[in-house]
Amino acid sequence: MHREASIRDNPIIEKPDTVQVIHRIIHNESYVLQPESTVRVKPGYPTSLKCHIRLDGQFCIFWIKIALNEAPVCVATAKAFVDTVDMCEEFKNHSRLKALWNQKTFSLSFSSVEQTDAATYFCVTSHFGQYFFGNGSKLLLEEHADVRK
């Protein structure tokens, strides 16, 4: 019998242990696609990170923030076939950050980027005990960034 994985059961989030991560994670861009590897934005400007999922069936999806010299932190979680998104504890009352899930795309939107947002954000799916990571999107703040698209 399959028990659906939840973010609370996830040993990667609770105890980031390099050996555990290496043995339990599958990096596979064919299932999880993060189209932008680097996003440059001026402080105070809005931006979004996107993640496209190519899995069918039941799965959990989440955003993980990894800032320089800090442990990974869960930002938001969602589940296949459910439209709601749960913000993780540290981001529950975060007014500048919003996550949206529409069954194939999981986006993370910042209304006004601050220095504390600078990090690499990974989109991850958990599917029957296996973890599929996107390639990561590095959010860089630049005082004189060219934010034109």
Residue 14 φ then ψ, to 5°: -70, -45
Question: Which position has the higher pLDDT, 38 or 130?
Answer: 38
Q: Comparing C-alpha atoms, which of 117, 110, 133, 126 is closest to residue 51?
A: 133
Residue 71's nearest CA partner among 9, 18, 113 is 18
pTM of the model: 0.77
Answer yes or no: are the C-beta atoms of 36 and 52 closer than 8 Å.
Answer: no
State mean pLDDT over 3-26. Answer: 40
How many residues does this entry show for the chain? 149
CATH 3.30.930.10 fits 7-141, yes or no: no
Instruction: Assess whether pLDDT exceeds 90 at residue 27.
Output: no
